[in-house]
Copies of this chain bind each other. A is one copy, B any other.
Amino acid sequence: MATIARREAKRRAALTRERILRAAISLADRDGIESLSMRKLGHKLGVEAMSLYNHVRNKVDMLDGMVDVVFGEIDLPANGIDWRTAMRQRAISARQALSRHPWAIGLMESRATPGPATLRHHDAVLGSLRTAGFSVDLAAHAYSILDGYTYGFTLTELTLPFRNSEIAEVAGNIMEGFRPGDYPHLAEMAVDRAMKPGYNYGDEFEYGLDLILDGIERAHSPARRMQ
């Protein structure tokens, strides 16, 4: 009977690269990337680890594929809306996708070969800026700043010693454990902001995003600056 069940499971969904990537992503989301092994992944898919190698070159190739899937989840800039709205939406969408899959940003560092979804995304963003009349140079500047800020903010957010939920723990971390006055400005920041009810570090993201968009707008159309 076990055999029949196995066979049915197999017929229900044949092993494909696509299915492997989805399963790997959901394992990484749940348990963290460092505990993702080919053996556990095989087990989740009802298959021996070695079967995965028929659809994936090796683990590095699989990790490349996973990162590319995450990039595919980022909204492409919509057509026909102004560049500022398009860039704002895509930055927010990128932060959401990277937050859903926190391991992705740590993996980017070692990924040298971008996948098709990643390339398509970059191409669409550059296209949106060029269509809006940005020079090649200014489009490169703008993309570089926006991308850098978006990734970096998300990375910082993940690194934060406090998650938004446990405010009491913040107090614990910052105020106790150290000699009082060791880190006075961090302490001040914690008391004044992080410990206030309703505090959410994520809110900081749009402040910085708008400051950067202001700067880009100024560089793009200096004539209309400070209108």
Interface residues of A in 174-190 (CB under 8 A from B): 178, 182-186, 188-189
Q: Are B204 and A211 in contact (CB under 8 A)?
A: no
Among candidates B106, B111, B145, B150, residue contacting A208 with C-beta atoms closer than 8 Å: B145
- Known: A149-B148, A185-B127, A186-B123. Is A161-B112 also a contact (CB below 8 A)? yes
Chain A at the B interface: SS class: helix
Residues on A close to B: CB < 8 A? 32-34, 102-103, 105-114, 119-120, 122-124, 126-127, 130, 136-137, 139-141, 144-145, 147-153, 155-156, 158-159, 161, 178, 182-186, 188-189, 192-193, 201, 204, 207-208, 211-212, 214-216, 219, 225-226
What are 14 A-to-B residue pairs whose CB atoms are below 8 Å?
A: A34-B110, A106-B106, A109-B158, A119-B183, A130-B188, A136-B192, A140-B193, A145-B208, A148-B148, A148-B152, A148-B153, A148-B156, A149-B152, A211-B215
